[in-house]
Amino acid sequence: MDLINAIILLLNYIFIPGLTYGSQLALGAIFVTLIYGILRFANFATGDMMSFGTMMTILFTWYFQSLGISLGVLPTALIALPFGIFFMILYMLTIDKFVFKYYRTQKSPPVQFAMVSIGVMFVTQAVVRIIIGPGDRRFFDGEKFIIKAREFKEMTGLNEGLALKSTQVITIFVTIILVSLLFWFLNKTKTGKSMKAYSDNEDLALLSGIDPKKIVLVTWVIAGILATIGGALYGLDKSFKPFTYFNNMLPIFAAAIVGGIGNPFGAFLGGYVIAFSEILLTYAYKKFFMYILPESMEPEGLVQLLSTDYKFAVSFSILVIVLLYRPSGIFKGKVL
């Protein structure tokens, strides 16, 4: 029984949270790698663009809630997501037209694009904070738990309870569907293949008759979908606070680089690598060892490698190690 309790403990505090957090990072990492692979610059506004899309989703969620519209046990935000995506795409296309397009026309170097994206980041931060404010905004409604820890204990007779939140299941389920559709689009459709060809060799793609304006448009549309859904899922699972999304930029970039910048599948897996690394290295294992070790060997301390305050230091360390020893990432070579 102690072994089962230990397994349930790990499921509850490491495995399920890791899958959920990893899914949210994976969507952001694919956003980064898509922009880098096709538009050829590191978009440092990624976190704040996710924040903007989430903000629009929240505003429409509140509007639908005020009208009494809901999905019952599911969060109303799922209805608001398409509207959030629409305004996120509109915002991205506006930024591209009035900012990035000029530098793309001038054939500016990637470093200049990156610096410009930092300016976009600060502008987006300001817009979000002016509209919705800097504080926490909770927009989750519906059934919070699919199963509660106390109910699980009563059903199984175990000491450890397994709590499964609806947001966790929604996050994992939506991520699998969205990423599957994205990979199908990139590998099976004519537009997706054109995007990969444009990324691989821009000059040759243009000679083949591929329309660069269409490629740019589709790239921003896909990026807008990823940013809004990834940001909204993160906000539903935890809460919405603009500055938190800015902080998430580091683990998102780390996930993209670990997986191999320009490789969507690598970015997807990189999200889980970063998420599980952060959780595994900051979790206190005292209770786990109390279940699996004899009483005489039970630890007195927390058995925690790092405090949770150093969670982002884990992402940074992994990022540095990968850049030093395998700068091409886990999956070498671009697939875009």
pLDDT, one tens digit per residue, over 66-88 is 999 988 899 999 999 999 999 99
Determine the pLDDT at residue 295. 80
Determine the pLDDT at residue 332. 61
Cβ neighbours of residue 294 closer than 8 Å, sequence gap 6 or more: none
Kindly tell me if the per-residue pLDDT of 334 is higher than 60.
Answer: no
Which has more pLDDT, 30 or 295?
A: 30
Residue 220: count other Cβ atoms within 10 Å of its Cβ.
Answer: 24
pLDDT, one tens digit per residue, over 214-256 is 999 999 999 999 999 999 999 999 889 888 899 899 999 999 9
Tell me the CA distances in angstroms from 281 to 18, 63, 285, 318, one per residue in order: 12, 41, 10, 12
Mean pLDDT of 50-58: 96
Q: Is there a contact between 165 and 146 (Cβ–Cβ < 8 Å)?
A: yes
Determine the pLDDT at residue 62. 95
Q: What are phi and psi of 233, to 5 degrees?
A: -65, -40
Chain mean pLDDT for the chain: 91
Kindly tell me if the per-residue pLDDT of 333 is higher than 60.
Answer: no
Could you give the percent of the chain with pLDDT greater than 90? 65
Could you give the percent of the chain with pLDDT greater than 70? 99
Mean pLDDT of 126-154: 91
Determine the pLDDT at residue 46. 94
168: which 2 tokens? 């966790």
Kindly tell me if the per-residue pLDDT of 182 is higher than 70.
Answer: yes
What b/e string do you get for 238-276 counting C-beta neighbours within 10 Å, with b at 16 or more?
A: bebbbeebbebbbbbbbbbbbbbbbbbbbbbbbbbbbbb
